[in-house]
C-alpha cells in the first residue's frame, strides 16, 4: 500500500500489481464493537538513521468510497 501511495495512486489495479487482494469496504468488519474506525490510514517508512523517510496519510470515506485514494 505504501509503494502504491509513493507512486501517487492507491487503487485496486495498483494494489493487485503489488500482490494485495483488494476488497469492498462493506465486507470488512471490525472486531472492536462500539469503536469508530479512524478516518485515515497513516503509513510510513524510514531508511537508516535519519537518511530518508516517507510518510503518507490516506483518506477514503467508508460511507462513499472512491475507486482510488
Query: Which pLDDT score, from 0 to 100, does residue 44 have?
Result: 92
Are 59 and 40 in contact by the 8 Å Cβ rule? The answer is: yes
- Digit-coded pLDDT (tens) for 19-42: 988 776 666 667 778 888 788 889
- Measure Cα distances from 55 to 16, 23, 39, 41 in Å: 22, 24, 17, 11
pTM of the model: 0.59
Closest of 36, 32, 23, 29 to residue 65, by C-alpha: 23
Amino acid at each position: 500500500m505504501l509503494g502504491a501511495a509513493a507512486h501517487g495512486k492507491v487503487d485496486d489495479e495498483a494494489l493487485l500489481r503489488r500482490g494485495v487482494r483488494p476488497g469492498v469496504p462493506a465486507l470488512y468488519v471490525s472486531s472492536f464493537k462500539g469503536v469508530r474506525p479512524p478516518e485515515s490510514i497513516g503509513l510510513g517508512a524510514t531508511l537508516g538513521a535519519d537518511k530518508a523517510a516517507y510518510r503518507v496519510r490516506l483518506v477514503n470515506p467508508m460511507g462513499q468510497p472512491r475507486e482510488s485514494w
